[in-house]
Structure formats: C-alpha cells, structure tokens
Amino acid sequence: MAKIIAVTNQKGGVGKTTTAVNLASCLAYIGKKTLLIDCDPQGNSTSGVGADEQEHALSVYDCLADSGNTKNAVIKTKYINLYIIPSSADLSAAEIELAYEENREFFLKKSIAAIKDDFDFIIIDSPPSLGMITINILTAADSVLIPIQCEYYALEGVSQLIKTVKSIKKKLNPKIDIEGVLATMYDGRTNLSIQVLEEVKRFFPDKLYKTVIPRNIRLSEAPSFGEPIIKYDRTSKGASAYMALAKEVIDRNL
C-alpha cells in the first residue's frame, strides 16, 4: 500500500509545488512507483511534469465528483515510474461545491482508496489555503511534509497549520503525522537564511530534514520546460538536494 504524503503549507510561494514535483520524480527515479496528485487549481505540478497538454484528460475534479473515475484519471508521465492525476481550473469550484456535501472531508480519501495499492508513494501538492480541498488532502494523507521558505515571516502561519493538522488528527484522520519539515530556498550567504534555519530547527528539532533545499536558479527554470530538475539539469545543486531529500524520505519510511 502506498505511503500518502501531503505537501502542505497555506502560505503561498514557499516551494510546495517545486517539492511535490521534484520529490515525486526523484522517488520515481530511485525506482519507487510514484503518483503525483495535483490538488491545486493553479495546476503547476501538472505542467511541471509536462502533463498539461493531455486533451480530455480526467482531473482531480472528476475524481472528487465520482471516485469511479480515479483509475482512469491516472496518467503515465514521460518519466519512468512517475504517474500523475492532473489538476484543472474547475477544481477551484470544488472548494465551494464540497461545502454543501455530506461527509465533505472524505471525498479525496474515497477517490484515492481505489488506487492506493498500485503505488509505493503518493505525493499530493496542495493549494495555498486551509480550505475544503486542503482539509480533504489532510484527511486522505498518512502524513504531511511542510516546506518552509528561508525568508522573512517563514514561520508565520505554521502554528495555524499545526493546529489544523492536530484537529484533523482528532476528528477525521487519527493516523496523520508530520512526515517532516523542509527548509527551502536556502541561501547560505545571507544571515537571514542562516537565522531562519536555526529558528526552524528550534521549532521542529525532530522533524526538520537534514537535507536543505538551496536557492537554485535551475529549479526555477525547469517548470517552464515541463521537466523535473533531474531531467532538466541532473548536475545542478537543486537536483542533488531533491535526490538527497528523496533518500531521506525513503529512510524515514523503512
């Protein structure tokens, strides 16, 4: 059965999508059969693996509407062992539509159940909010990986996220845990990055990954080519960092 990891932080632009795309592709590269689920209506994970040109593809929205669609919504990417359920713009409507449903927190969990046995890892990219889609993600996931950007206000909102995870654990998903906390966009030349990393370490002494993701221009270029970093530039610092993260994630799940 797959380990389902949600990449979540309601703060925008902290590296959720970059982490979801590149962690999923590195896990796949290492030989783990991996499914990326793009639960953000922005669809950046979908384009990040070059899966945005599939016409008439079923999307996460269709899976939420009818869990019978899930198996057919899984698309094989160009990359070995890497599969995706794409996002679509209509997913933003689900945020409101779900609010009127009974058992509204469980729609994603129900749709994933049909394919859980088919993968080693399922990585879910989240939107920058704590709305119904994120609640569905945290209800479906085994654990949550929190990317934190090494910038001003890095920890802003993180206590709210932890509170949300605790409340979901109590009411909706007793097994959810924090998978790990990942420092992103780290620039060792600036005092700010160094200080933020220290602060995050104090806040999450047991959960912070040893791997720190550096600020690396190649990581920001890769999405416009629809390529994960290990395809776009395998020799970049960004590629080595995400490969090290994937190994750390595997080690924590042995």
Site residues for ligand ATP per CB under 6 A: 12-18, 40, 42, 44, 128, 184-185, 213, 215-216, 219-220, 223, 238
Q: By C-beta, is 44 or 134 nearer to Mg ion?
A: 44
Question: Please, which residues have CB within 8 angstroms of residue 107's CB and are 6 or more apart in sequence?
Answer: 64, 67, 98, 101, 136
Nearest residue (CB) to ligand ATP, 17 versus 69: 17
Half-sphere exposure of 235 (CA within 13 A, CB side): 0
- Return d(Cα 71, Cα 87) in angstroms, integer: 15
d(CA 168, CA 239): 33
Site for Mg ion in 144-203 (CB under 5 A): none
Identify the three-state secondary structure at position 146.
strand
Q: Which stretch binds Mg ion (CB under 5 A): 11-19, 63-71, 96-104, 176-184?
A: 11-19
* Binding partner selected for residue 92 from ligand ATP, Mg ion, none, CB under the kind-specific 5 to 8 Å limit: none
Residue 3 as a binder of Mg ion (CB under 5 A): the answer is no
Query: Which one of the spans 40-48, 79-87, 170-178, 245-253 is the region binding Mg ion (CB under 5 A)?
Result: 40-48
Determine the distance from the C-alpha atom of residue 75 to the mean position of all C-alpha atoms in its chain, rounded to a whole number: 17
* Residues 158/24, Cβ–Cβ less than 8 Å: no
Minimum distance from residue 80 beta carbon to ligand ATP (Å): 23
Smallest gap from residue 254 Cβ to ligand ATP (A): 27
Least distance to ligand ATP, CB of residue 44, Å:
6
Q: Does 16 bind Mg ion (CB under 5 A)?
A: yes
Are 186 and 213 in contact, with CB atoms under 8 Å apart?
A: yes
| Residue 32 binds: one of ligand ATP, Mg ion, none (C-beta under 5 to 8 A by kind) | none
As a whole number of angstroms, the distance between CA 177 and CA 193 comes to 27
